Amino acid sequence: MKTQTEKSQAALNPQKALSLLEEGNKRFVENLKADRNHLDQVNETRDGQYPFAIVLSCIDSRVPAELIFDQGLGDIFSVRIAGNFVNEDILGSMEFACKVAGSKLIVVLGHTSCGAVKGACDNVELGNLTGMLKKLQPAKDAVTTDGERSSKNDEFVQKVADKNVELTIQQIKEKSPVLKEMLDDGSIGVAGGMYDVASGEVEFYHKP
């Protein structure tokens, strides 16, 4: 597998960038990793980097973006925070990735059985975690359920995780004029997806 270069990055559009991630996840699920020499990639990226996407995902140890999308050094930017939400610093990182470094796609990736989402559903309070989990409150408030509104209700937890991805994409558009302009002119795209910790599969349900 070739290392991303300025030329190969420039040849991509948001849809093709998404296809690269979809193809990579298919390889991951089938245990067919692309043939790469990571030491060669260290050498090939020493003077610059040209990632084609930036992936915002959770800190969950089961969801390392480079592995589940079978990507190598220099292929993607990876931003991780419990609950995969955005704040000013993450938005700034996305602006750097897209406006400065040339990435074509932003991915907001949630996952099943998310501990942060469960904590928000249960109104957990613990040090700085308390304030962090409040960032997920809008997703929780936006979801209706016939059952218990707690982590004991798996369907409710998953609905909140899905809604959190949707609202995070909305916030990217609303809170970053830089990214909104690039999205509007089609130079970048944004996608939302959900990683299944039981199967290894990513389902994209918001696509550019």
| Residue 52: CATH number of its domain | 3.40.1050.10
Range of the domain at 91: 6-114+175-206
Q: Using the structure block, give the residue that is written with the tokens 């916030």.
A: 171
Query: Under a CB-based contact definition with an 8 Å cutoff, are residues 79 and 87 in contact?
Result: no
Has 111 been labeled as part of a binding site? yes
On whether residue 131 sits in a domain, the answer given is: no
What whole-number distance in Å separates Cα of residue 173 and Cα of residue 180? Answer: 5
Confidence (pTM): 0.95
The domain total for the chain is 1
User: Does any domain span residue 143?
Assistant: no
Is residue 38 a known part of a binding site?
no
CA 128 – CA 140 distance, rounded (Å):
19
CA-closest candidate to residue 57, choices 33, 86, 88: 86
In a domain, 66, yes or no: yes
pLDDT tens profile 179-201: 999 999 999 999 999 999 999 99
pLDDT tens, residue by residue, 95-147: 999 999 999 999 999 999 999 999 999 999 999 999 999 999 999 999 999 88
Enumerate residues 6+ apart whose C-beta is below 8 A from 161. 110, 111, 112, 114, 117, 139, 194
Judged by DSSP in three states, 123 sits in: coil
Would you say 121 is a known binding-site residue? no
